[in-house]
Structure 1
Amino acid sequence: MRVDGRDITVSGDLLQPLHRRTNDILRLLIATVVLAIIVMSSLVTRQDWVALEESISDILGVLTPAQSNLVYLVYGLAIVALPFVILIGLIATRQFKLLGAYAAAGLIAILALSITSNGIAAPQWHLDLSERLNTTLSQFLDDPRWIAMLAAVLTVSGPWVPARWRRWWWTLLLAFVPIHLVVSAVVPARSLLGLSAGWFVGALTVLVVGTPALEVPLAAAVRALGRRGCTVSELRVVRPAGPGPLLMSAFCTDGNGPAVVEMYGPNQRIGGALRQLWRYLTLRNDETAPLQTSMRRAVEHRALMAIAIGDLELSNTTTMAVAALDRGWTLYAHTDADGEPLTAAVPVDVPWRALRALHGHQISHGDLRAGAITIVDGKAVFGGFGHAEYGASDAQLQSDVAQLLLTTTALHGAQAAVAAASAAFGADTVLTASRRLSKSAMPQRLRKSVSDAKAVMSTARDEVKRHTGAERIQAETVTRFSRSQLVQLVLLVALVYVAYPFISTVPAFFAELSSANWWWALLGLAVSALRYVGAASALWACALEKVSLLNLTIMQVAATFAATTTPAGVGGLALSTRFLQKSGLGTLRATAAVALQQSVQVITHVTLLIFFAAFAGASANLERFVPSATVLYLIGGAALGVVGAFLFIPKARRWLATAVRPRLSEVAHDLAELAREPKRLALIVIGCATSTLGAALALWASVEAFGGDTSFVTVTVVTMIGGTLASAAPTPGGVGAVEAALIGGLAAFGVPAAVAVPSVLLYRVLTCWLPVFIGWPVMRWLTRNDMI
C-alpha cells in the first residue's frame, strides 16, 4: 500500500469475506413485523382500506387522462427496466458471487405470491405492442409479484452496490404509491403486500448469504498515526473484523515497540447500541454506565479512561491516537501492554493493593479478568478499560471487588484471596461485595475467564462466610425485576388465563347459591382444609421431620396457588422443594423428599381408586368409564411407539440411563427404606389418603348442599377420576377438564345436571379458587420471611 509517497507493507486478512451484521438481523425482524402488519390489516380492514384509498385518490387525482397515460408510460418503462439495471450494476461492480442470491431472491418472491388455493398461478406478463403501450406496462405496475421481485433483488443487492445507486433504486420503486394516487388509480393492497413480502424474502436471503466486507480506510489510519508521531512502516493484521474490532500491529520507523491499532467499523454500531440498550432495560440504574450515543463516543471514553488511569501509574497502556475515519470507521491506537501476565506465582495481595488505589480515586475497572492485569516491577497495572468508569457508583465498586475475588480465588485459592481482599478493603466491604458472586451479578466475560466459575464462586462465598462469621450471604439483585417477581408475574398471568372460563359461569352459579344449604357448604370447606394438613404431614414425614409442620402446612396453601397456575401442578412441586431447601435441607434431600411424597401419593391414589371402584362396581355400572377397544388399541400403540423410540434412539436411550434411571433407583431405594419404618410409612400413607379423601368429602358435601342424593363411595370414584384428569390435562390446574369430568361422572351415577353443575362449581370454589386467592398473599408472606 502506498500512502503519501511511502510504501507500507500490509500483511494478513483485513476482513472476513462475509459476515452477518447486526443490522442484517434487525432488517429481517423489521421486515417480518411489517409483513405481519400488512397481512393482518388487509384481512381485517379490507373494505375500509379500499374506501380510504378511493377517497385519497379522488382528492389527489388531478391529472388529465392524457397526463396520466404519459406518467404511466414513463414510470412503467422505468419499473420494467429496473431489475435489468440492477443486474447490469452487479456485473459492472464484478459482484459475480451475488448473481445466485439475486436470482434466488427474485424467484422465491414471485413463487411465494403465486401460490393460490388452486395451486401455483403462473405470471401472465407479456409485451404485446399491438395494444397501447401504457396498458401493456400496467400489468407490471399492478402485479404484486413484480413489485415483490423488485423489492427482493433490491434488498439483496443493496449491501454490495454504492449507497447512491441503492437510494435512487429504492426511490424509484416506492414511487409507485404516489403515482397511483396522482393518476386517480387506487393503490391495490396486494401491491403493498408484494412490497413487504419481497423485502422479507430479500432480508432473509441477505442473512443467509452474508454481506460483503467493507473497505477499510487504511490510508486515513496511517495518516492519523503519523500526526501522533508514529510514522508507520508496516501493518500486520492480528484479528480480522467481525464481532470485535479489526486488530492490527503498527510498526513505527522511530524504533519504538509496535502500536496496537483497533479499528471499529460502522457495522458494529448497532450491535453495541443494542447491548447497551439491553443492559439498560434489564439492569438497575446504578448497575449501568451512561449510554454512549455513538461508537466514536464509546471509543473516546475508553481512551480517556486509559489516560486518567495512566496518570495514577496504574495503566499498562498509553493512548496514542483516537480519530474518526472515512466510511464510518473509528480508530483507537495505544501502546502494547507492559509487564508480565498475572499468574499464580504473583503474590495475591499485589492486585488487591492496585485495585484499592484505583478505588481510592473513585474509578472502577469493570473487567478484572486475569488477562486484563499485568505485573510491572512487582506492581499490578490494568488494561482494557472498555467498562471502566470515573466517579463510579458503589455498585460498580462492589462489582470490581467481586470480580477480583473470582479471579484471585481461581489463581490462589479462596482462603488467600479472601484474606488479601479483607486486608485491602475490610471484612465488611468484602462481605457486601460477595453478594455479587452469583451467575446473574457476575458478567459472562468474567465467568468464561475461569474454569468452573460456579464452583469457584461457591468456594469464595463459603470462605467469606467463614472469614466474616456470617451465617448466609443473600445474592445481590442487579436486575430491575428479580426472579421471584418474574415468577409471580407469570403465575398471575396464568391465573387470569385459567380463571377466565370460570368467570363466565359466575352469574348463573350465584343464582343457584340461593337454594344451597350453607351448612353443607361449610362442612365442605372444613374437610377441604384437611387436605393441606394431610399433604403437609406426609411431606413432613418424608423430610425426616426436620422442618416445621406448621410452616409446612401454611406452605401447602401457597403451593395450591402455584400448582393451579402451572400445567400438571409442577409449580407446587417446585415450591415445596424450594421451601425444604430454605428450611435447611440440601438440594438432593429436598428433591428426594418431594419425589418420595409424590410416589406414595400416586400409589395411595391408585390403590384407593381400585378399592372404591370395585366397591362401587357392585351396585353401579362403570362400563361407561372404560374407553372403547379402539381407543385402548390406539393408546397401547402410542405407548409402544414411545417405548420403541426411546430404545432405538441413542440420545433418548442415554437420557433414560443417565437422567431417569438414577432418579427411579433413588425413589425405589427410599421406598424400600420407608417400608422398614412402619410408623413413618403409616404417617405418610395416612397423610396422602387424607389429601385424596378430603377432596372427595368436599365434593360429596357440595352435592348434598344442592339436594343431591348419592353415596360417598360413588362421589369418591368420580373425584379420583377427576384428579387423574387434572394431572394429565395441559391446562393449568386442569381447568375445564376437571369440571367436565366431574359433571359427567356425577351424571353417569344419576345425579341431575341441575344439581351436578352447581355442585361441581361449589366444589371447585372450595378446593381450588379460594385457596388460590388466599395462596397469593401467603406466597408473598413466605417470600418476605425468606421461606421460599
Structure 2
Amino acid sequence: MRVDGRDISVTGSLLQPLTRRTNEILRVVLSAAFLAVVITSSLITRNDWVALERSVSEIIGVLTPTQSNLVYLAYGVAILALPFVILVQLVIGRHWTLLAAYAAAGVLAVLALSISGRGIAAPQWHFDLRDRLDTQLSQFLDDPRWIALLAAVLTVSGPWLSRRLRRYWWALLLAFVPIHLVVSAVVPARSLLGLAVGWFVGALVVWVVGTPALEVPLDGAVRALTRRGFVVSALAVIRPPGPGPLVLAATGPETTAVVELYGPNQRSGGALSQLWRKFRLRTDETAPLQASMRRVVEHRALMAIAIDDLGLSNISSVTVSALDRGWTLYARKPARGTPLSAHAAPVADVWQALHTLHRGQIAHGDLCRDEITVHDGQVQFGGFDNAEYGATDAQLQSDIAQLLVTTSAMYDPASAVSAAIDAFGRETVLTASRRLTKTAVPARIRDSVTDAKAVIAAAREQVQHQTGADKITTETITRFTRVQLIQLVLLVALVYVAYPFISTVPAFFDELGNANWWWALLGLAVSALRYLGAAGALWACADGLVRFRHLAIMQVANTFAATTTPAGVGGLALSTRVLQKGGLSTMRATAAVALQQSVQVMVHVLLLILFTAIAGTSANLQHFVPSATVLYLVAGVALGVVGGFLAVPNLRRWLASAVRPKLQEVKTDLWELSREPKRLGLIVLGAAGTTLGSALALWASIEAFGGDTSFVTVTVVTMIGGTLASAAPTPGGVGAVEAALIGGLAAFGVPAAVAVPSVLLYRVLTCWLPVFVGWPVMRWLTRNDMI
C-alpha cells in the first residue's frame, strides 16, 4: 500500500466476513412494514386513489405529449443506464462472489410484480396513458416492475458503494415522482408499490447473503497516526474483523502501536444493546447512552487517560479519529505487563489497586482476568469498554462483586474475601456481595471462570462466614424480575381463560336464584378432598420429608398455576419447587412429582374402568366416542410422530438420552413402591381422593339444581371430563371440560336446564374460586421463601 509517497507493507486478511448484522434485520422489518402499509392503503382507498390521480392529472397537465416524451427521453437515458453503471462498478471492484445477490434481487423484484392469474405477465391495473406517453421508452419506464428492479439492485449494492454515490442513485430513482407530475401521468399507488416491493426484495436478499465486505480505509488510518507523530512503516492484522473491531499492529521507526478500526455496521448492535440494558436494568445500573460508535470509542480513550493518571492503566491512548465511510480509529500503546495469575501478584495487591481506582470515583465494569495485568509489581487494568467516570454506588458495588468472582476463581474464596474486607471494609463487601448472583454478575465475567455457579456460591458463603451475616439478601438490579414476568404471564393467561366464562355469567346468576345453597356448600366442602388427597399422595411420594401442611396449602396455589398454563405444566413446576425448598434435591423432587403423576394416571384409568362397568351398558356414551375419521386421523398422526422419532437420528438420541432414563426412574420407583404396602396405599388413596372429590363436587352441584342422577354416573362423566381437560390445548381445559361434562350428563339423561347451571357451579367451586384464592396464596408462599 502506498500512502503519500511512502510504501507501507500490510500483512493479513482485511476481508470482513459476510454477517447478518442488526441493521440488515431492521431494514427487512421496515421494508416489510412499508410494503404492508402500501398494499393495505391501496386496497382500502382504491377508489379514492383513482379519483385523485385523475383529478391531479387534469390539473397539472402542463406539458404537451411531445414535451412529455422529451422529458421522459432525458430521464429514461439516465434511469436505463443506472443498473448497468452499478454493475460495471461491481465488476471493476472485483466483487465476484456478490454479483449473484445483485442479479437475484433484480430477477425476484421483476417476478414479484409479473405474476398474475394468467401466469407471468405485466400488471394490468395502471392507466392507459398512450395519449400522453406514446413512445416505447416512456411506457417501459412507467412500468412498476422497472422501479422495483432499480430499488432492489440499489438496496443490494448500497453497502458496496460510497455514501455519495448511494445518494445520487437514490435521488435519480426517486425522481420519477416529480417526472410523473411534470408529464401529468400520476400513478402513486403503482409507483409506491414498485418501490416498496423492490426495497423489500433487496433488503431480504442482503439479509440472506449477509453484509458484504467493506473497504477498510487504511490510508486514512496511516495519515491520522502521522498527524500524531507516529510514522507507520508496516501494518499487520492481529485479529480479523468480525463481531469486534479490526485490530492491527502498527510498526514505526522506534515503537509499535495497536490500531483498532470500528466499521459503520457495528453501531446498530451497540445501540440496541444499550437500549436493552436501559429497558431491563434499573437507572443506576447503566451508563449514559452513547449516540454513536465514535462517542463509544472516545469514551474508552478518555477513560484510559483518566485511569493512566492514577498509574493503574496498562495501556496509553495514542489517538482517536473519524475516517472515511463511517469508520472510527482508536490507536493505543500495547498492553504492559503479564497476565494476572496467583504467582504474579498477591491477592491483596489486586484489591488495593481496585480500592485506589474507586477512590478516584471510577468503575471498571469488566474485571475479568484478561483485563488485569502485573507490570513491575504493580497491578494494572485494561479494557475500559464499560468503565465509567463519576460512577454510581451501584456500579462500584458491581466492580467488587466481579472481582470477588475473579479472585475467588484464581486464588481461593477465603483469601479473596479476606483481602476484599481489608481493602474496603466489612460493610462495603457485605453490601456488594448481594450482587453475587447470575443476574448481577455479567456474562463475560461468568464465562471467564470455570464453573461460575460454584465460584459465585463459594464467594457468597465466604462473605457470610467472614462478615458474620445471618443471611445475604439478593440485590434486585433489574426493573422486572423473572418471578414478576411469570406472574404477569399467568395473569394474562387467567384473563384469557376466564373470558369464555364471563360471557355466561348473566344467565348463570339467573339460575342461582333457584339453587339449593346447602348442596352448593356441601359441594364446596367435598371439593377440599382434592387438595387433601393430592397433598397426601405427594407427601408419601416424598417419603414424608416435607411438611404435609405446606403441601396442602401449596395445592390451593397449584390450582392457579395449573389452570393458567396449558397442560398444567405450571402446577408441576410449582410442586417441584416446593419440594426443593422443603429440602429435597432437584432430582429427588422431580422424581417424587413424576411418581405422583404416574400413580394418579393409573388410578384414574382404573377408576374409570370400574365405574364404567358399574354404570352398565344402558347409557348412551356416543357423545364421548369420536368419529371414525377422527380416530383414523389421530392414529395416522401418532404413527407419523413415532416414525419421525425413529427416522431422525437426533430424535432417537433424545429419546435414548433424555426420555428413556426418566421412564426407567419412574419404573424403578414404582417397583420399590410396590414393596411398601402402607406407602403405596396412602398414595393410591390420595390419588383416588383427588378424583372422587371432583365427582362428589359435581354430584352436589347437580343436586343443588334439583337433578336426580346416581353418583356412579357423575363419577364417569367427571373422569371423562378430566381426561379431556388434560388433553385440551387451552389452559385449564376451558371450553373442552364444560362441553364434555354437559354432553356427558345429557347422555345419561340429565336435562340441559339442570346440566348447564350444574356444570357452571361445579367449575366455580373447583376451578374459579380456587384460582382466585390461589393467587394470594402463591404470593404468600413466595414471601415465606417456600417457592
TM-score per shorter chain, which class? over 0.9
Q: Match of 1:91?
A: 88
**Distance in structure 2 (CA, Å) of the matches to 1:450 and 1:236:** 31
Unaligned runs of 5+ residues in structure 2 are: none
**Distance in structure 1 (CA, Å) of the matches to 2:281 and 2:72:** 52
**Distance in structure 1 (CA, Å) of the matches to 2:387 and 2:215:** 31
Aligned-partner SS, 1:569? helix
Aligned-partner SS, 1:719? helix
**Distance in structure 2 (CA, Å) of the matches to 1:763 and 1:40:** 47
Counterpart mapping for 1:620-635 below 5 A? 620-622=619-621, 624-628=623-627, 631-635=630-634
One-letter code aligned to 1:218: L
Q: Match of 1:783?
A: 782
Counterpart selection for 1:273 from 271, 274, 281: 271
Q: 1:386 to 1:779 in 2, by over 3 A?
A: same
CA contact (8 A) 2:133 2:139 kept: no
Q: CA deviation at 1:787?
A: 2.1
TM-score of the superposition, structure 1-length normalised? 0.92
**Distance in structure 1 (CA, Å) of the matches to 2:568 and 2:119:** 46
Q: Match of 1:290?
A: 288
Q: Match of 2:389?
A: 390
One-letter code aligned to 2:712: V
One-letter code aligned to 2:754: V
**Distance in structure 1 (CA, Å) of the matches to 2:17 and 2:3:** 24
**Distance in structure 2 (CA, Å) of the matches to 1:15 and 1:92:** 18
Q: CA deviation at 1:91?
A: 0.6
Unaligned runs of 5+ residues in structure 1 are: none
Cα deviations across residues 432-467 of structure 1 (Å, max 9, x unaligned)? 333333332222222222233233323333444444
Counterpart mapping for 1:70-469 below 5 A? 70-71=67-68, 74-75=71-72, 78=75, 82-92=79-89, 94-95=92-93, 97=96, 98-117=98-117, 119-121=119-121, 133-134=133-134, 136=136, 139-140=139-140, 143-177=143-177, 187=187, 189-253=189-253, 255-256=254-255, 258-346=256-344, 347-469=346-468
One-letter code aligned to 1:193: L
**Is 2:574 the counterpart of 1:575?**
yes
**Distance in structure 2 (CA, Å) of the matches to 1:288 and 1:309:** 20
CA contact (8 A) 1:422 1:430 kept: yes
CA contact (8 A) 1:57 1:182 kept: no
Q: CA deviation at 1:52?
A: 5.7
Deviates more, 1:112-121 or 1:391-400: 112-121
**Distance in structure 2 (CA, Å) of the matches to 1:42 and 1:723:** 50
**Distance in structure 2 (CA, Å) of the matches to 1:39 and 1:455:** 56
CA contact (8 A) 1:264 1:331 kept: yes
Q: How well do the aligned residues superpose, as a CA RMSD in angstroms?
A: 2.9
CA contact (8 A) 1:152 1:199 kept: yes
**Distance in structure 1 (CA, Å) of the matches to 2:757 and 2:77:** 70
Q: How many corresponding residue pairs?
A: 782
Q: Match of 1:549?
A: 548
One-letter code aligned to 2:60: L
**Is 2:741 the counterpart of 1:742?**
yes
Q: 1:56 to 1:639 in 2, by over 3 A?
A: closer
Aligned-partner SS, 2:332? strand
Q: CA deviation at 1:616?
A: 0.9
Q: CA deviation at 1:354?
A: 1.3
**Distance in structure 2 (CA, Å) of the matches to 1:167 and 1:547:** 71
Q: 1:354 to 1:65 in 2, by over 3 A?
A: closer
One-letter code aligned to 1:399: S
Q: CA deviation at 1:198?
A: 1.7
TM-score of the superposition, structure 2-length normalised? 0.92
One-letter code aligned to 1:78: Y
**Distance in structure 1 (CA, Å) of the matches to 2:625 and 2:23:** 59
**Distance in structure 2 (CA, Å) of the matches to 1:187 and 1:499:** 50
**Distance in structure 2 (CA, Å) of the matches to 1:14 and 1:437:** 41
Q: CA deviation at 1:604?
A: 1.5
Q: CA deviation at 1:364?
A: 1.1
Q: CA deviation at 1:551?
A: 2.9
CA contact (8 A) 2:162 2:325 kept: no
Q: CA deviation at 1:112?
A: 2.4
Cα deviations across residues 480-512 of structure 1 (Å, max 9, x unaligned)? 110011111111111122122222222222222
Q: 1:409 to 1:628 in 2, by over 3 A?
A: same
Q: CA deviation at 1:645?
A: 3.1
Q: CA deviation at 1:57?
A: 6.5
**Distance in structure 2 (CA, Å) of the matches to 1:517 and 1:131:** 85
Q: Match of 2:667?
A: 668
Q: Match of 2:688?
A: 689
CA contact (8 A) 1:524 1:697 kept: yes
Q: CA deviation at 1:75?
A: 4.2
One-letter code aligned to 1:338: R
One-letter code aligned to 1:723: G
User: Identity rate of aligned residues, in percent?
Assistant: 70
Q: Match of 2:7?
A: 7
